[in-house]
Structure 1
């Protein structure tokens, strides 16, 4: 099967290499020749293209059987739309703000499979939910903590960005939706700061972010939230920037110049958030899901702590996000998951055997998800 990966950043590169190693005929495309160079050096086909150009995307994907979207959020929705309109299946990780289900009718009309949010969280966390939701009488509660961090909290802001820095800023500015007491609630990002103790890492700050996304359709689950993790101190720094308006996109007039505060801040911040070559990162995922089945209730807790692979040079975020994506690609490619239309990862998780396949696929690549169970009192 011929697969094209749109976007050759850290995660896109990991996706392309993993699929090639699994026997797919892979090409990677990006507008930046420097991003493509490491893949070309490994013998992969590469194509330089302007992926912001819809017509270029449609023309490019016509030569392939399946597409992987690994672009920044700003390009995500219109790229997925273009691929679907071209009649090609797509698995996408771009975390765009728009509602992907607005493309469901088009995907059904074209008869294609389109899986969105196919990363670690959203992504793997949703697959866990779908697996248990399919087999339980009732899901009481879902809480997800996730964070991609430098292995050590060094630097001015105790943070480096393991994926698109522009998308990181979205975490700090996009209002967070969650459900409590059965009520959908929206609060500013960076709200409800708490902490999570992670063995092997220490105490991390956690704050609400808008990562539930498609899971908010599951309105029968009364308690749902996603929390993003950072080293202590980082959240207050970002709150300060936001509260004084420096993360706003609304332009200001400074002298005779019109410029958005965010454009200035990101220009200054992003170099500080860059990982040095070979600098290690880590990814933390902690998911708690409370389910009722056959008159009893149980909490299933899943933990993942993954670190940079020094041997291959693959970052942890690329491993956890990229390999979840490639696991889903495998399921689509072999027909295990074949529902036409737009799907979220929880839809994949509901299909018998898919969760176990994804988990085994990750484990074969050293990404280990551990599970503990504890009884709960009746509701």
Structure 2
């Protein structure tokens, strides 16, 4: 099997390539990037004779298509929407099955803050997404969409919990946070582990949720909840708020009475974000200053990003608590995954990269048979996929990423009403 990683020089993409090269089943790992120096640095870090670098511009569809046709499976690890959609279109045209890790359901594009992504002339965004899905089916291509940590593992574990207890109400709580020690050394009690401009986008756009069995739109960072995480040998006070993290769930689980995805942070983070919002610092509409038009968010990013970069010794954590409540039983799923300090891999890159790499192997092995744009919960959840779901958790455990599943009688609706 030959696997191609688009965005293979970034934190997440290089972690995907590292996993593919380390855990077997792959004869060649291609990594794609524009910068030769970045590619060389990634090659040296990943190591191994099976890793090959390709210096191309992925916006060049013709060149990208020729390269994709030489591989059996693709992993798209690009940080923003415009390049992701371009890569998806090219992969479909090349007949390449692929896993995309972006927080996007390409079949139903998010209408907010498009990051340069646009539908073809004469098409709405939904029509564009549906056309990609239909074209993938026609070409016999599978795009496993949003398969990383969140979305990805969050979709799969929550979807399986819903199935097991016949749930009608569900909440996903997920987040990448600094370790407690690292949080104290940074503003906002936050540390960058992936694209921070995309994080701020999540804090500002409208978010679709399920309420009373219908799709509703709420404000990002609403639905605040404080909770105590007491699993996986951990005891910490945390907070979470609604963000647009699992968009496919609105369509694959439209039968639910209620559903929302919430991002976990350390206490105090959301209050700080409120202040930034109130001051207008997260707005994208330009303002005039000293004879120039300046986007407040762009200015704020330039100011804050250097202060949020990891300092020597800083590490991060990926934390998850998903709840699915049925009439008699509740299924909870917990994870607390730390960084791989030995190999220099952040927790976010480790969890996201591992999930994507494992799923890519399964897809290349023919274990995911659906064609078109397929959400993670469609590929791994259900009685027909019990073995695949179990194998996913086993492969994660092999990498030291442990997911704890608990099914218990329903005692109160409070945990899902917060």
Normalised to the residue count of structure 2, the TM-score between the two structures is 0.84
Structure 1 counterpart of 2:395: 361
| Alignment equivalent of 2:238, drawn from 204, 209, 218 | 204
Structure 2 counterpart of 1:80: 88
2: distance between equivalents of 1:72 and 1:54? 18
Report the Cα offset of residue 201 of structure 1: 5.3
1:271 aligns with 2:302: no
Written as runs of structure 1 = structure 2, the 5 A alignment for 1:1-379 is 1-7=1-7, 8-21=9-22, 22-24=24-26, 25-41=28-44, 42-43=47-48, 44-74=51-81, 75-96=83-104, 99=108, 101-102=129-130, 103-133=132-162, 138-152=166-180, 153-154=183-184, 155-199=186-230, 200=234, 202-217=236-251, 218-276=253-311, 279-291=314-326, 297-350=328-381, 351-376=385-410
Report the Cα offset of residue 372 of structure 1: 1.4
Gaps of 5+ in 2: 110-128, 414-418
Deviations 1:243-265 (A, max 9, x none): 33222222222232122112111
2: distance between equivalents of 1:80 and 1:277? 37
1: distance between equivalents of 2:21 and 2:300? 38
1: distance between equivalents of 2:37 and 2:198? 21
Tell me, yes or no, if the aligned pair for 1:119 and 1:324 is still in contact at 8 Å.
yes
Deviates more, 1:79-88 or 1:269-278: 269-278
Deviations 1:226-259 (A, max 9, x none): 1101111221222222233222222222232122
Structure 1 counterpart of 2:123: none
Please state whether the residue corresponding to 1:104 is helix, strand or coil.
helix
Normalised to the residue count of structure 1, the TM-score between the two structures is 0.92
1: distance between equivalents of 2:294 and 2:4? 37
Tell me, yes or no, if the aligned pair for 1:143 and 1:287 is still in contact at 8 Å.
yes
CA RMSD for the aligned pairs? 2.1
Report the Cα offset of residue 34 of structure 1: 4.6
1: distance between equivalents of 2:207 and 2:2? 38
Report the Cα offset of residue 156 of structure 1: 2.0
2: distance between equivalents of 1:378 and 1:243? 35
Tell me, yes or no, if the aligned pair for 2:25 and 2:361 is still in contact at 8 Å.
no
Structure 1 counterpart of 2:125: none
Deviations 1:168-189 (A, max 9, x none): 1122112122112213221111
Please state whether the residue corresponding to 2:149 is helix, strand or coil.
coil
Deviates more, 1:318-327 or 1:55-64: 55-64
Tell me, yes or no, if the aligned pair for 1:121 and 1:146 is still in contact at 8 Å.
yes
Deviates more, 1:47-56 or 1:148-157: 47-56
